[in-house]
Amino acid sequence: MNAQKIVGLVEPYLFFNGRCEEAIEFYTKNLGAEVIMSIRYKDSPEPHPEGMLPPGYENKIMHATVKIGKSKVMASDGCGGETKFDGFSLSLAVETEPEAERAFAALSAGGTVTMPLSKTFWSPKFGMLTDKFGVGWMISVFHDPNS
């Protein structure tokens, strides 16, 4: 069976279980993220089904899109429940070692470093961490093996 080619984008959609606004502010401050759009549950043009939202979620973020570098990440507070960011990491590739060091230090504040930023065979600087929201990150410097 031959699969049909999909034309589109794959963009991460992160659910922060009530901490979306805090996460967006953190990424804006530390990565220069740009909020492209944000809508709160109370501003939805359609009513939410009865019992869908936990009490007090009216002012929480229903949907947001932020731009980090050249990529977009979508985010929400979700509808309650546990937040788990298991089985994937966001990969941030930057142009210079100082950029990598700055991003790594900023994202690891309040989080956990799983691999310190160091030289690897594929990058002059590469490291892994989990930020204070539980999101895994891999930070690297673009490497041109022909240079």
DSSP 13-73: EEE-TT-HHHHHHHHHHHH--EEEEEEEGGG-SSPPPTT-SPTTGGGSEEEEEEEETTEEE
The answer to whether the beta carbons of residues 60 and 77 sit under 8 Å apart is yes
Q: What integer pLDDT is reported at residue 5 of this predicted model?
A: 86
Residues of the chain with CATH 3.30.720.110: 84-147
Domain 11-81: which topology? 3.30.720
- Enter the CATH code of domain 84-147: 3.30.720.110
Note the pLDDT of residue 30. Answer: 96
Question: Which pLDDT score is estimated for 59?
Answer: 94
pTM attached to this predicted model: 0.89
Task: For 75, list phi and psi in degrees, rounded to 5.
Answer: -150, 160
Contacts of 108 (CB under 8 A, 6+ apart): 129, 131
What's the CA dihedral at 137, 143, 102, 90 to 10 degrees? -10
By C-alpha distance, which of 136, 98, 95, 96 is closest to 115?
136
pLDDT of residue 17: 92
Instruction: Output the tens digit of pLDDT for each of the chain's 147 residues.
Output: 677 888 888 899 999 999 999 999 999 999 999 999 999 999 999 888 888 888 888 999 999 999 999 999 999 999 877 788 999 999 999 999 999 999 999 999 999 999 999 999 999 999 999 999 999 999 999 876 665
Q: Are 63 and 90 in contact (CB under 8 A)?
A: no
Q: Among the residues of 58-126, which ranges form H helices?
A: 97-108
Of 68, 124, 75, give the one whose Cα is nearest residue 100: 124
Start-end of CATH 3.30.720.100 domains in the chain: 11-81
Please report the pLDDT score of residue 67 as a whole number. 97
Residue 127's nearest CA partner among 91, 78, 75 is 91
